[in-house]
A = this chain, B = another copy of it.
């Protein structure tokens, strides 16, 4: 019975890794759709999000079934509850990639991103994918220290987020209000995507150690995008 239990837990863990892969792929394709004004690709990202929603439901169903049948305590119990929270974070990351794809679709045949802001969006995408890929590996290895390795990438995301606002507010450039609205929301979507991925990595540490790991005293919380302009 215990073996069947751990097989089920492994299955849940594999599904969470699969969700990181799908979320990373969705982000990648959403960014391409946005920069290339590729509406077919945008539609593909929007449609594919259902897969992430479905996996999350399957994880919840399996988790609740496990709780009912096996009545786990201590670490096993904590693992199941935490897995459900991780599923919720990863589903939300898919939503954020979908929002980016919807901006691409809305502005088609134009691109929502002005030329000077493209390099920042490209790097935000790169950092987001790096974080979500590492988070997948952290889940897979049950790596309690893994979240600490994401600090640098997460700091880079915050710096890019600030850079977007600095550029938008540069008086030598004359952005339109519509551009400002799009870019403000896009930057928030990338930044929140990374936040949720970092939170998932922290949950792995919590699972393994039972302690909520803070990195240099920092909790993985929502940043305030405006605090720097």
Chain A interface residues (CB < 8 Å from chain B): 60, 64, 67-68, 71, 73-74, 77-78, 81, 84-85, 88, 95, 99, 102-103, 106, 165, 168-169, 175, 177-178, 180-182, 184-185, 188, 221-222, 224-227, 229
Q: Once the chains are docked, how many angstroms separate the CA of A77 from the CA of B81?
A: 12
Collect the chain B residues with CB atoms within 8 Å of residue A182's CB.
Answer: 226
| Other A-B pairs beyond A102-B227, A168-B177, 14, CB < 8 Å | A67-B67, A81-B81, A85-B88, A95-B221, A99-B222, A102-B226, A106-B226, A106-B227, A165-B181, A168-B181, A169-B178, A178-B229, A185-B188, A185-B226
Q: Which residue in B68, B180, B188 is a CB contact (below 8 Å) of A177?
A: B180
A180 touches B184 (CB 8 A): yes
Q: Once the chains are docked, how many angstroms separate the CA of A180 from the CA of B67?
A: 48
Distance in Å: Cβ of A214 to nearest Cβ of chain B: 14
Q: Once the chains are docked, how many angstroms separate the CA of A60 from the CA of B99?
A: 30
